[in-house]
């Protein structure tokens, strides 16, 4: 489970800004933020399946992913974390890639995938789990969006809390520079839970309660589960990309920031 809030083509300084929590079992092998694939892809990496939940490239490509809750899973499904990597390695436009992926979408368990070309400022949303389990592809409209474990902008209480708080902070800083690291800590560490969960009741009530907060912490029979890392990626109008991550390493929170430049189309 993950949750992300992002700003797209609706701010004079930040054409794109995302904050994202990755929730996973603490014992699942994971690599923290780093350049990989010959120094072309930047992001964290799931060492068990080899994929990622949020990553970008030097030539302006970006992808992020969340799982979609579902009652029944495909036993031998393809790894969803491989989808962002496939896009980042490809040369296709976001819509061309989406049209390719949607043909094979039923081979994956439920996913939300957002892919973008930040140089041309094009972004596409792909999912294989909306009503009636049909596939869906659309351009992402300008504005503030939240992606959790249902369709894009589904009004779950935790998603609404995050969107409202994000919008309030953006309004506070106006059109100027925002303290992204501080925003990340304030918004993505929120542990408010819903006593009466509005989540889809796929899991037992106690588990739904734990998952109803933006920042998740829970003990389970399979081990500790919760928010393993928090990421913030911003792109300024001049093409400067800043990728910040704080992640759990041996029960201690570590952080790092990588900055690079991309070319923006005129």
CB proximity list for 21: less than 8 A, separation 6 or greater: 2, 3, 4, 188, 214, 215, 216, 227, 229, 230
- The per-residue pLDDT for range 49-62, each reduced to its tens digit, is 999 999 999 999 99
Domain ranges in the chain are 2-261
Band of residue 73 on the pLDDT scale cut at 50, 70, 90: confident
- The per-residue pLDDT for range 137-163, each reduced to its tens digit, is 999 999 999 999 999 999 999 999 999
Q: Please name the fold of domain 2-261.
A: Penicillin V Acylase; Chain A (3.60.60)
The pLDDT value given to residue 133? 65
Residue percentage of the chain with pLDDT more than 90:
82
Band of residue 194 on the pLDDT scale cut at 50, 70, 90: confident
């Amino acid at each position: 489970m993950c949750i992300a809030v992002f700003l797209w083509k609706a701010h004079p300084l930040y054409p794109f800004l995302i904050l994202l929590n990755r929730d996973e079992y603490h014992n699942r092998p994971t690599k923290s933020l780093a350049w990989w694939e010959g120094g072309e892809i930047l992001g964290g990496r799931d060492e068990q399946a080899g994929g990622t939940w949020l990553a970008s490239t030097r030539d302006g490509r970006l992808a992020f992913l969340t799982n979609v809750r579902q009652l029944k899973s495909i036993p031998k499904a393809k790894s969803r974390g491989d989808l962002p990597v496939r896009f980042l390695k490809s040369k296709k436009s976001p819509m061309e890639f989406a049209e390719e992926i949607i043909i094979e979408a039923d081979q994956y368990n439920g996913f939300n995938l957002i892919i973008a070309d930040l140089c041309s400022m094009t972004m596409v949303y792909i999912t294989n789990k909306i009503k009636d389990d049909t596939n869906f592809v659309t351009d992402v409209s300008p504005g503030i969006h939240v992606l959790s474990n249902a369709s894009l902008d589904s009004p779950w209480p935790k998603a609404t809390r995050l969107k409202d708080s994000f919008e309030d902070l953006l309004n506070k800083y106006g059109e100027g520079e925002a303290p992204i690291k501080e925003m990340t800590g304030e918004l993505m560490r929120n542990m408010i839970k819903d006593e009466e969960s509005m989540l889809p009741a796929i899991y037992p009530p106690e588990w739904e309660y734990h998952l109803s907060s933006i920042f998740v912490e829970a003990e389970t029979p399979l081990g500790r589960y919760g928010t393993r890392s928090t990421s913030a990626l911003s792109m300024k109008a001049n093409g400067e990309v800043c990728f910040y991550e704080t992640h759990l390493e041996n029960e201690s929170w570590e952080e790092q920031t990588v900055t690079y430049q991309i070319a923006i189309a005129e």
